[in-house]
């Protein structure tokens, strides 16, 4: 951060830490100008950037169907949705910038694979049913993850999340509605929906991150109020929510061990293949290279546009001055 | 944390209401509830053919702009180009639905099942030679400079037309035009601002944008000659003779290019439109095949 201004006394770090701790303890918000521990700042930048990258990379799997959407209404819905995702990326990069990060730098880190994004977007979209299943399951999982973040201790992130969650919940209903329509259609459409559910169910469960006993950043994030629930708690909620929705839809979730637990009233589910998760996270998923290559091309092939806009702004600022 | 017991209840409780959303989850035909009676003295076949020309222009340009989504220079531009695409898609849906409402469906209705609405029958079940879009919108995007030059030209033409069509004797067409004018004015403004930045930016951006201008200019030739349909509908007070748009479009483009320090090429001599006659370049076949791929693969499906 910047050096203290001239005459102001250098504040006592212990006092600042106490004030920060008191704000967190009272469940109040930390705002950009407030003092915060360096670990809190860095952790937040990492989390928010990863979230922003996920929105931007997440435009691609569904974006691949924009030109070939099967009706004009579905095209409009999908184009508006993908546009919303770009908007979410923008709010989130802006939230990261309130912590001193720079969007161009974060984009470079994404392209150079120094920062991650949600692994789910490294799977391909094979049929139009994938668009519906992404809305239902992937956006559904994202909502489970993100609703608690509306109460994140960091103000700009929490406020961004409120808007993002409203839009995500709308996308989820649209995705589910597409699937309902397809299930009322032809046998081929029903088969497409089931196939998409089979492919996306387990990766959706992995979206909540590693199990609690293997989640390196969780404990500190919980203590700081950046994160509100553990990965396993959120995953369980998602399963409990999705099972009845799958029944209404008329699809089978691809887990023979999925069953209600009479003691807890929740659903038990089978073991998750974490080796797959780690493979995809390590960059070896089906579409990792393609996703990053698209962003790299968008940056590099269009660098001349950004340079021109900057040159134009400089020129005209100088004229105006 | 009781209010988070179910995330949906929490969301609805805290931030309820969905009136701000552009697209609901129900299906509305674009012209649902609208009186689609054709006023006396207007030939429905001509009216439908005219709506196809204008609807196809919008649909094809929407496809072109959509190709930038996930590839644009800035995130703001992903949003902006998607937004222009959505506006054009909305115009296309209304115009194709208007063509369908007067029975102009060509061979599409023989191919599309009864459950497919007219707008989709027309978009997805016509062959490329049944499309009536202009050569200006079908041309590939080129680089970002050429894309914004084409968007500027297409929206300058269309806003000039739609402003006049607000007085059309067909009330449905007049209403579609009135809705479109502010949208197209925004597109024209957005494109013009980019042409200024790129033309007067760096030597490279100037060179690229000049090349874009030079590539787009010949495509302006066939925008200003009326087809027989347009001539008859202009006489009936429904359409506008595109020759009437020439001065305005040329003035707008010249103004923007000069301000952008770009060279304004010689205006191409007007000629009859090939696109309006269904004679398109090979790029159109590719674009339309991609547009229609899913719908045609599952002709009996409902979406």
- pLDDT digit string (tens) for chain A, length 321 residues: 455 555 666 678 899 999 999 999 999 999 999 999 999 999 999 999 999 999 999 999 999 999 999 999 999 999 999 999 999 999 999 999 999 999 999 999 999 999 999 999 999 999 999 999 999 999 999 999 999 889 899 999 999 999 999 999 999 999 999 999 999 999 999 999 999 999 999 999 999 999 988 877 777 877 887 777 899 999 999 999 999 999 999 999 999 999 999 999 999 999 999 998 889 888 889 999 999 999 999 999 999 999 999 999 999 987 655
Say whether residue B34 is in contact with chain A using an 8 A CB cutoff: no
Q: Does A243 touch chain B (CB under 8 A)?
A: no
Percent of chain B residues past pLDDT 90, beyond the cut: 86
What is the per-residue DSSP string for A45-112? Answer: HHHHHHHHHHHHHTHHHHHTTSTT-SSHHHHHHHHHHHHHHHHHHHHHHHHHHTTT--HHHHHHHHHT
Q: Poorest-confidence range of A37-46, B18-27, B96-105, B235-244?
A: B18-27
Radius of gyration of chain B (CA): 21
pLDDT at A223: 81
Which B residues, 99 through 118, put their C-beta within 8 Å of a C-beta on chain A?
Answer: 116-117
pLDDT by residue (tens digit) across B24-63? 444 568 888 889 999 999 999 999 999 999 999 999 999 9
pLDDT at position A320, please? Answer: 58
**What residues of chain A, 30 to 89, have a C-beta less than 8 Å from chain B?**
56, 59-60, 63, 65-77, 79-80, 82-83, 86-87, 89
CA of A282 to nearest chain B CA: how many angstroms apart?
Answer: 23
Q: What is the reported pLDDT for A319?
A: 66
pLDDT tops 90 at residue B214:
yes
What was the pLDDT predicted at B2? 38
* B85 reaches A (C-beta below 8 A): yes
pLDDT of residue A2: 53
Nearest to A237 among B7, B73, B74 (CB): B7
CB A120 within 8 A of CB A206: yes
Confidence (pTM):
0.93
**Continuous H helices in chain B:** 7-15, 44-66, 75-101, 108-111, 118-124, 135-138, 144-165, 171-199, 203-216, 228-235, 246-259, 282-297
To 10 degrees, what angle do helices B44-66 and B144-165 make?
A: 150
- What pLDDT sits at residue B16? 43
**For chain B, what is the mean pLDDT?**
92
**Which has more pLDDT, A221 or B66?**
B66
Q: What is the pLDDT of residues A70-121, one digit of tens each?
A: 999 999 999 999 999 999 999 999 999 999 999 999 999 999 999 999 999 9
Contact A175, A132 (CB under 8 A): yes
Q: In this model, does residue B20 exceed pLDDT 80?
A: no
The verdict on a CB contact (< 8 Å) between B303 and A75 is no
Q: Which residues of B fall within a CB distance of 8 Å from A166?
A: 11, 15
Nearest-angstrom CA–CA distance, B275 and B289: 17
**Over 70: is that where the pLDDT of B129 sits?**
yes
Q: Which of B15, B208, B302 sits opposite A181 (nearest CB)?
A: B302
Within an 8 Å CB–CB cutoff, is residue B69 touching chain A?
Answer: yes
Give the chain B residue nearest A168 (alpha carbons).
Answer: B11
* Window A:189-228, CB contacts with B under 8 Å: 189, 228
């Amino acid at each position: 951060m910047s050096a203290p201004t001239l005459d102001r006394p250098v504040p006592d770090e212990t006092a600042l830490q106490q004030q920060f701790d008191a704000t967190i303890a009272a469940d109040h918000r930390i705002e950009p100008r407030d003092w915060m521990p360096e670990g809190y700042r860095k952790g937040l930048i990492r989390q928010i950037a990863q979230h922003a990258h996920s929105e931007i990379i997440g435009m691609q799997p569904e974006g691949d169907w924009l030109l070939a959407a099967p009706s004009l209404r579905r095209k409009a819905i999908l184009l508006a949705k993908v546009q919303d995702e770009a908007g979410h990326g923008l709010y989130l990069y802006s939230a990261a910038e309130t912590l001193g990060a720079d969007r161009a730098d974060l984009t470079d880190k994404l392209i150079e694979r120094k920062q991650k994004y949600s692994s789910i977007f490294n799977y391909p979209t094979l049929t139009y049913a994938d668009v519906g299943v992404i809305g239902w399951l992937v956006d559904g999982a994202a909502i489970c993850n993100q609703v608690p973040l509306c109460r994140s201790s960091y103000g700009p992130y929490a406020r961004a999340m409120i808007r993002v969650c409203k839009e995500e919940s709308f996308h989820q209903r649209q995705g589910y509605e597409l699937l309902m329509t397809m299930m009322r259609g032809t046998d081929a459409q029903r088969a497409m929906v089931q196939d998409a559910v089979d492919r996306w169910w387990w990766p959706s469960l992995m979206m909540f991150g590693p199990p609690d006993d293997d989640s390196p950043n969780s404990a500190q994030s919980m203590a700081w109020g950046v994160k509100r629930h553990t990965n396993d708690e959120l995953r369980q909620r998602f399963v409990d929510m999705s099972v009845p929705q799958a029944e209404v839809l008329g699809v089978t979730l691809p887990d023979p061990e999925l069953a209600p637990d009479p003691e807890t009233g929740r659903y038990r589910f089978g073991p998750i293949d974490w080796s797959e998760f780690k493979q995809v996270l390590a960059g070896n998923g089906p579409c990792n290279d393609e996703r990053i290559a698209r962003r790299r091309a968008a940056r590099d092939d269009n660098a001349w546009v950004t340079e021109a806009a900057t040159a134009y702004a400089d020129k005209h600022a100088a004229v105006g001055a | 944390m009781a209010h988070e017991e179910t995330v949906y209840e929490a969301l609805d409780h805290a931030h309820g209401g969905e009136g701000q959303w552009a697209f609901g989850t129900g299906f509305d035909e674009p012209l649902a509830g609208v009186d689609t009676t054709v006023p006396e003295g207007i030939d429905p076949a001509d009216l439908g053919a005219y709506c196809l020309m204008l609807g196809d222009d919008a649909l094809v340009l929407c496809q072109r702009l959509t190709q930038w989504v996930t590839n644009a220079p800035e995130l703001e531009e992903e949003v902006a180009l998607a937004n222009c695409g959505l506006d054009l898609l909305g115009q296309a849906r209304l115009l194709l639905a208007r063509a369908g409402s007067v029975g102009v469906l060509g061979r599409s209705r023989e191919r599309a099942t009864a459950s497919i609405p007219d707008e989709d029958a027309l978009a997805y079940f016509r062959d490329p030679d049944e499309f009536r879009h202009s050569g200006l919108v079908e041309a590939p995007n080129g680089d970002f400079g050429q894309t914004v030059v084409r968007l500027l030209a297409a929206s300058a033409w269309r806003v000039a037309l739609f402003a006049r069509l607000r007085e059309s004797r067909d009330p449905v067409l007049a209403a579609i035009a009135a809705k479109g004018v502010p949208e197209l004015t925004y597109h024209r403004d957005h494109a013009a601002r980019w042409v200024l930045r790129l033309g007067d930016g760096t030597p490279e951006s100037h060179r690229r944008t000049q090349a874009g201008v030079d590539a787009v200019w010949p495509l302006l030739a066939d925008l200003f000659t009326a087809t027989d349909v347009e001539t008859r509908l202009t006489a009936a007070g429904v359409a506008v003779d595109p020759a009437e748009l020439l001065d305005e479009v040329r003035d707008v483009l010249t103004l923007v290019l000069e301000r952008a320090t770009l060279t304004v090429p010689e205006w191409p001599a007007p000629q009859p439109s090939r696109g309006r006659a269904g004679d398109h370049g090979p790029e159109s076949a590719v674009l339309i095949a991609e547009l229609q791929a899913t719908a045609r693969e599952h002709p009996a499906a409902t979406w």
